[in-house]
Structure 1
Protein backbone atom coordinates (compact mmCIF):
# COMPACT_ATOMS: atom_id res chain seq x y z
CA UNK A 1 0.00 0.00 0.00
CA UNK A 2 2.88 2.34 0.83
CA UNK A 3 4.40 1.82 -2.62
CA UNK A 4 1.05 2.52 -4.30
CA UNK A 5 0.45 5.72 -2.33
CA UNK A 6 3.95 6.98 -3.07
CA UNK A 7 3.47 6.15 -6.73
CA UNK A 8 0.15 8.04 -6.81
CA UNK A 9 1.93 11.05 -5.25
CA UNK A 10 4.60 10.76 -7.99
CA UNK A 11 7.29 9.95 -5.44
CA UNK A 12 7.88 6.22 -5.94
CA UNK A 13 10.50 4.43 -3.91
CA UNK A 14 13.15 2.40 -5.73
CA UNK A 15 12.17 -1.19 -6.50
CA UNK A 16 14.90 -2.60 -4.27
CA UNK A 17 13.29 -0.77 -1.29
CA UNK A 18 9.88 -2.44 -1.73
CA UNK A 19 8.83 -4.59 1.21
CA UNK A 20 8.19 -7.55 -1.12
CA UNK A 21 11.84 -7.41 -2.21
CA UNK A 22 13.17 -6.95 1.34
CA UNK A 23 11.10 -9.90 2.62
CA UNK A 24 12.19 -12.13 -0.27
CA UNK A 25 8.68 -12.51 -1.72
CA UNK A 26 10.02 -11.19 -5.02
CA UNK A 27 13.55 -11.84 -6.29
CA UNK A 28 16.05 -9.08 -5.59
CA UNK A 29 17.09 -7.40 -8.83
CA UNK A 30 20.62 -8.09 -9.97
CA UNK A 31 23.01 -5.19 -9.50
CA UNK A 32 23.18 -3.09 -12.63
CA UNK A 33 19.95 -4.53 -14.04
CA UNK A 34 17.57 -1.97 -12.54
CA UNK A 35 17.12 1.17 -14.53
CA UNK A 36 14.60 3.60 -13.13
CA UNK A 37 12.78 6.40 -14.85
CA UNK A 38 12.56 9.44 -12.61
CA UNK A 39 11.24 12.98 -12.67
CA UNK A 40 14.39 14.37 -11.04
CA UNK A 41 17.36 15.34 -13.17
CA UNK A 42 20.49 14.46 -11.21
CA UNK A 43 22.91 15.54 -13.94
CA UNK A 44 22.40 19.29 -14.41
CA UNK A 45 26.14 19.66 -15.16
CA UNK A 46 25.50 18.02 -18.56
CA UNK A 47 23.82 21.23 -19.74
CA UNK A 48 26.57 23.59 -18.56
CA UNK A 49 29.09 22.68 -21.28
CA UNK A 50 27.64 23.17 -24.76
CA UNK A 51 28.54 23.84 -28.37
CA UNK A 52 26.57 24.93 -31.42
CA UNK A 53 26.51 22.39 -34.27
CA UNK A 54 27.08 23.71 -37.82
CA UNK A 55 23.96 25.13 -39.49
CA UNK A 56 22.04 25.25 -36.19
CA UNK A 57 21.22 27.87 -33.59
CA UNK A 58 20.43 25.58 -30.65
CA UNK A 59 23.32 24.68 -28.38
CA UNK A 60 23.91 21.01 -27.50
CA UNK A 61 25.75 19.47 -24.57
CA UNK A 62 29.28 18.43 -25.50
CA UNK A 63 28.74 15.09 -23.74
CA UNK A 64 25.80 14.08 -25.98
CA UNK A 65 26.61 10.81 -27.74
CA UNK A 66 23.43 10.47 -29.85
CA UNK A 67 19.73 11.12 -29.59
CA UNK A 68 16.69 9.39 -31.01
CA UNK A 69 13.47 10.90 -32.21
CA UNK A 70 10.37 8.68 -32.30
CA UNK A 71 6.82 9.19 -33.45
CA UNK A 72 3.74 7.00 -33.27
CA UNK A 73 1.77 6.72 -36.51
CA UNK A 74 -1.30 5.04 -35.01
CA UNK A 75 0.13 1.56 -35.49
CA UNK A 76 3.77 1.52 -34.42
CA UNK A 77 6.72 3.63 -33.29
CA UNK A 78 9.16 4.97 -35.89
CA UNK A 79 12.60 6.05 -34.71
CA UNK A 80 15.36 8.05 -36.34
CA UNK A 81 18.83 8.48 -34.87
CA UNK A 82 20.91 11.63 -34.81
CA UNK A 83 24.60 12.05 -34.13
CA UNK A 84 25.42 15.75 -34.35
CA UNK A 85 29.16 15.27 -33.92
CA UNK A 86 29.49 12.42 -36.39
CA UNK A 87 31.79 10.48 -34.05
CA UNK A 88 31.17 6.78 -33.65
CA UNK A 89 30.31 5.97 -29.99
CA UNK A 90 32.38 3.43 -28.07
CA UNK A 91 31.03 -0.16 -28.26
CA UNK A 92 30.02 -0.22 -24.58
CA UNK A 93 27.97 2.95 -25.10
CA UNK A 94 26.29 1.53 -28.21
CA UNK A 95 25.36 -1.63 -26.27
CA UNK A 96 23.84 0.38 -23.41
CA UNK A 97 21.98 2.69 -25.79
CA UNK A 98 20.49 -0.24 -27.72
CA UNK A 99 19.49 -2.05 -24.55
CA UNK A 100 17.89 1.04 -22.99
CA UNK A 101 16.03 2.08 -26.15
CA UNK A 102 14.69 -1.43 -26.81
CA UNK A 103 13.61 -1.85 -23.18
CA UNK A 104 11.94 1.58 -23.09
CA UNK A 105 9.68 0.84 -26.04
CA UNK A 106 8.75 -2.59 -24.63
CA UNK A 107 7.25 -0.95 -21.53
CA UNK A 108 3.43 -1.03 -21.41
CA UNK A 109 3.49 2.77 -21.11
CA UNK A 110 4.83 2.96 -24.68
CA UNK A 111 2.44 0.49 -26.28
CA UNK A 112 0.62 3.37 -28.05
CA UNK A 113 0.57 7.14 -27.99
CA UNK A 114 -2.55 7.02 -25.78
CA UNK A 115 -0.85 4.80 -23.19
CA UNK A 116 2.13 7.17 -23.24
CA UNK A 117 -0.21 10.13 -22.68
CA UNK A 118 -1.68 8.42 -19.61
CA UNK A 119 1.81 7.56 -18.37
CA UNK A 120 2.80 11.23 -18.58
CA UNK A 121 0.87 11.92 -15.37
CA UNK A 122 3.92 10.39 -13.65
CA UNK A 123 6.41 12.48 -15.65
CA UNK A 124 7.83 15.92 -14.90
CA UNK A 125 5.57 18.57 -16.49
CA UNK A 126 7.14 21.40 -18.47
CA UNK A 127 5.80 24.86 -19.30
CA UNK A 128 3.75 23.34 -22.12
CA UNK A 129 0.67 21.22 -21.43
CA UNK A 130 1.71 18.54 -23.92
CA UNK A 131 5.39 18.09 -23.02
CA UNK A 132 6.97 16.14 -20.16
CA UNK A 133 10.41 14.98 -19.02
CA UNK A 134 11.84 11.81 -17.52
CA UNK A 135 15.43 11.00 -16.61
CA UNK A 136 17.46 7.87 -16.15
CA UNK A 137 21.01 6.62 -16.15
CA UNK A 138 22.95 3.48 -16.90
CA UNK A 139 26.50 2.53 -16.03
CA UNK A 140 28.03 4.84 -18.66
CA UNK A 141 25.18 7.17 -19.65
CA UNK A 142 22.91 9.91 -18.39
CA UNK A 143 19.58 9.87 -20.20
CA UNK A 144 16.97 12.59 -20.75
CA UNK A 145 13.62 11.53 -22.20
CA UNK A 146 11.36 14.24 -23.57
CA UNK A 147 7.75 13.14 -24.07
CA UNK A 148 5.42 15.07 -26.39
CA UNK A 149 1.77 13.97 -26.41
CA UNK A 150 0.65 15.75 -29.60
CA UNK A 151 -0.45 13.47 -32.46
CA UNK A 152 1.51 13.88 -35.72
CA UNK A 153 4.55 15.23 -33.92
CA UNK A 154 7.76 13.63 -32.77
CA UNK A 155 6.57 12.12 -29.50
CA UNK A 156 9.69 10.81 -27.78
CA UNK A 157 13.18 12.25 -27.80
CA UNK A 158 15.80 10.22 -25.95
CA UNK A 159 19.11 12.02 -25.39
CA UNK A 160 22.15 9.96 -24.33
CA UNK A 161 25.07 11.69 -22.56
CA UNK A 162 28.46 10.09 -21.88
CA UNK A 163 29.18 10.21 -18.12
CA UNK A 164 32.94 10.20 -18.71
CA UNK A 165 32.68 13.22 -21.01
CA UNK A 166 30.63 15.07 -18.39
CA UNK A 167 33.21 14.36 -15.70
CA UNK A 168 36.00 15.45 -18.07
CA UNK A 169 34.45 18.91 -18.51
CA UNK A 170 34.32 19.74 -14.82
Structure 2
Protein backbone atom coordinates (compact mmCIF):
# COMPACT_ATOMS: atom_id res chain seq x y z
CA UNK A 1 0.00 0.00 0.00
CA UNK A 2 1.28 3.46 -0.87
CA UNK A 3 1.88 5.88 2.00
CA UNK A 4 0.54 9.10 0.49
CA UNK A 5 -2.91 10.66 0.50
CA UNK A 6 -3.81 13.09 -2.24
CA UNK A 7 -6.40 15.74 -1.49
CA UNK A 8 -8.42 17.99 -3.77
CA UNK A 9 -8.29 20.74 -1.13
CA UNK A 10 -5.30 23.07 -1.37
CA UNK A 11 -4.20 23.75 2.19
CA UNK A 12 -1.05 25.73 1.46
CA UNK A 13 -2.55 28.85 -0.15
CA UNK A 14 0.46 31.04 0.65
CA UNK A 15 2.54 29.35 -2.08
CA UNK A 16 0.87 31.39 -4.84
CA UNK A 17 0.94 34.75 -3.04
CA UNK A 18 4.42 35.75 -4.17
CA UNK A 19 5.73 35.00 -7.67
CA UNK A 20 8.69 35.96 -9.84
CA UNK A 21 10.27 35.28 -13.20
CA UNK A 22 12.94 32.82 -12.11
CA UNK A 23 16.27 32.75 -13.98
CA UNK A 24 16.74 29.01 -13.34
CA UNK A 25 13.39 28.31 -15.00
CA UNK A 26 13.49 28.74 -18.77
CA UNK A 27 9.92 30.01 -19.13
CA UNK A 28 8.64 33.56 -18.97
CA UNK A 29 5.64 32.83 -16.75
CA UNK A 30 5.85 33.89 -13.12
CA UNK A 31 6.62 31.01 -10.74
CA UNK A 32 5.96 30.89 -7.00
CA UNK A 33 9.07 31.97 -5.10
CA UNK A 34 8.60 28.88 -2.91
CA UNK A 35 8.78 26.44 -5.85
CA UNK A 36 11.74 24.08 -5.64
CA UNK A 37 11.07 22.50 -9.03
CA UNK A 38 8.76 20.12 -10.80
CA UNK A 39 8.57 16.80 -12.56
CA UNK A 40 6.61 16.24 -15.73
CA UNK A 41 5.83 12.87 -17.28
CA UNK A 42 4.20 11.36 -20.31
CA UNK A 43 2.92 7.85 -20.91
CA UNK A 44 3.62 6.15 -24.25
CA UNK A 45 0.92 3.52 -23.81
CA UNK A 46 3.31 1.20 -21.98
CA UNK A 47 5.49 3.19 -19.57
CA UNK A 48 5.82 6.54 -17.86
CA UNK A 49 8.80 8.73 -18.78
CA UNK A 50 9.61 11.68 -16.56
CA UNK A 51 12.14 14.47 -16.09
CA UNK A 52 12.84 16.91 -13.28
CA UNK A 53 13.19 20.67 -13.82
CA UNK A 54 14.64 22.93 -11.10
CA UNK A 55 13.05 26.30 -10.43
CA UNK A 56 14.90 27.20 -7.21
CA UNK A 57 17.61 24.53 -6.95
CA UNK A 58 19.01 26.19 -3.84
CA UNK A 59 15.90 25.01 -1.93
CA UNK A 60 16.47 21.32 -2.69
CA UNK A 61 17.55 19.31 0.34
CA UNK A 62 18.28 15.62 0.70
CA UNK A 63 15.00 15.20 2.61
CA UNK A 64 12.95 16.92 -0.11
CA UNK A 65 14.72 14.98 -2.87
CA UNK A 66 14.10 11.65 -1.17
CA UNK A 67 10.44 12.43 -0.45
CA UNK A 68 9.82 13.83 -3.94
CA UNK A 69 11.41 10.85 -5.73
CA UNK A 70 9.45 8.38 -3.59
CA UNK A 71 6.19 10.28 -4.12
CA UNK A 72 6.62 10.57 -7.91
CA UNK A 73 7.41 6.86 -8.22
CA UNK A 74 4.55 5.85 -5.92
CA UNK A 75 1.97 7.91 -7.82
CA UNK A 76 3.09 6.73 -11.26
CA UNK A 77 3.24 3.08 -10.15
CA UNK A 78 -0.18 3.10 -8.46
CA UNK A 79 -3.12 1.33 -10.10
CA UNK A 80 -4.83 2.55 -12.17
CA UNK A 81 -2.48 5.54 -12.87
CA UNK A 82 0.26 3.16 -14.06
CA UNK A 83 -1.95 2.45 -17.12
CA UNK A 84 -1.57 5.99 -18.51
CA UNK A 85 -4.49 8.15 -19.67
CA UNK A 86 -7.17 5.45 -19.23
CA UNK A 87 -5.89 4.91 -15.69
CA UNK A 88 -5.77 8.64 -14.98
CA UNK A 89 -9.40 8.99 -16.08
CA UNK A 90 -10.42 6.04 -13.94
CA UNK A 91 -8.57 7.40 -10.89
CA UNK A 92 -9.85 10.98 -11.32
CA UNK A 93 -13.47 9.85 -11.88
CA UNK A 94 -13.63 9.30 -8.11
CA UNK A 95 -12.72 12.99 -7.57
CA UNK A 96 -15.05 15.12 -9.74
CA UNK A 97 -14.09 18.18 -7.70
CA UNK A 98 -10.52 17.86 -9.02
CA UNK A 99 -11.40 18.68 -12.65
CA UNK A 100 -10.61 22.03 -14.21
CA UNK A 101 -11.36 22.67 -17.89
CA UNK A 102 -8.23 23.75 -19.74
CA UNK A 103 -9.06 24.25 -23.41
CA UNK A 104 -9.50 20.91 -25.16
CA UNK A 105 -8.35 18.91 -22.19
CA UNK A 106 -9.20 18.36 -18.57
CA UNK A 107 -6.76 19.15 -15.81
CA UNK A 108 -7.12 17.27 -12.51
CA UNK A 109 -5.55 18.94 -9.47
CA UNK A 110 -4.51 17.28 -6.22
CA UNK A 111 -2.43 18.44 -3.28
CA UNK A 112 -0.33 16.77 -0.64
CA UNK A 113 1.40 18.09 2.45
CA UNK A 114 4.54 16.01 2.82
CA UNK A 115 6.92 15.95 5.75
CA UNK A 116 9.69 17.78 3.87
CA UNK A 117 7.70 19.81 1.32
CA UNK A 118 4.26 20.53 -0.13
CA UNK A 119 3.19 19.14 -3.50
CA UNK A 120 0.76 20.01 -6.27
CA UNK A 121 -0.11 17.06 -8.51
CA UNK A 122 -1.73 17.62 -11.89
CA UNK A 123 -3.00 14.96 -14.29
CA UNK A 124 -3.90 15.88 -17.90
CA UNK A 125 -5.90 13.71 -20.28
CA UNK A 126 -4.48 14.84 -23.63
CA UNK A 127 -2.73 12.09 -25.66
CA UNK A 128 0.81 12.73 -26.96
CA UNK A 129 1.39 15.43 -24.36
CA UNK A 130 2.61 15.56 -20.78
CA UNK A 131 0.02 13.84 -18.62
CA UNK A 132 1.47 14.36 -15.13
CA UNK A 133 3.09 17.24 -13.26
CA UNK A 134 4.37 17.18 -9.71
CA UNK A 135 5.36 20.61 -8.35
CA UNK A 136 7.44 20.87 -5.17
CA UNK A 137 7.15 23.79 -2.74
CA UNK A 138 9.15 24.57 0.40
CA UNK A 139 7.10 24.64 3.58
TM tier relative to shorter chain: 0.7 to 0.9
- Corresponding residue of 1:44: 13
- Corresponding residue of 1:118: 90
- 2:37–2:57: 8 Å Cα contact kept in structure 1? no
Structure with more relative contact order (C-alpha pairs < 8 Å, separation 6 or more):
2
- Runs of 4+ residues deviating >4 angstroms: none
Whole-Å Cα distance in 1 between the matches of residues 80 and 13 of structure 2? 26
Whole-Å Cα distance in 2 between the matches of residues 58 and 145 of structure 1? 19
Structure ID, larger Rg: 1
Cα deviation, 1:82-119, whole Å, max 9, x if unaligned, reads 00234361111111111111111121021212111211
> Does 1:152 find its partner at 2:124?
no
Cα deviation, 1:33-83, whole Å, max 9, x if unaligned, reads 842111111111100011112453211111111200000011100001100
Show structure 1 runs of 5+ residues with no match.
Answer: 1-32, 164-170
Whole-Å Cα distance in 2 between the matches of residues 44 and 127 of structure 1? 21
* Higher strand residue share: 2
Show structure 2 runs of 5+ residues with no match.
Answer: none
Of 112, 115, 122, the match for 1:136:
112
Give the structure-2-normalised TM-score: 0.86
What is the aligned-residue RMSD (CA, Å)? 1.9
Give the structure-1-normalised TM-score: 0.71
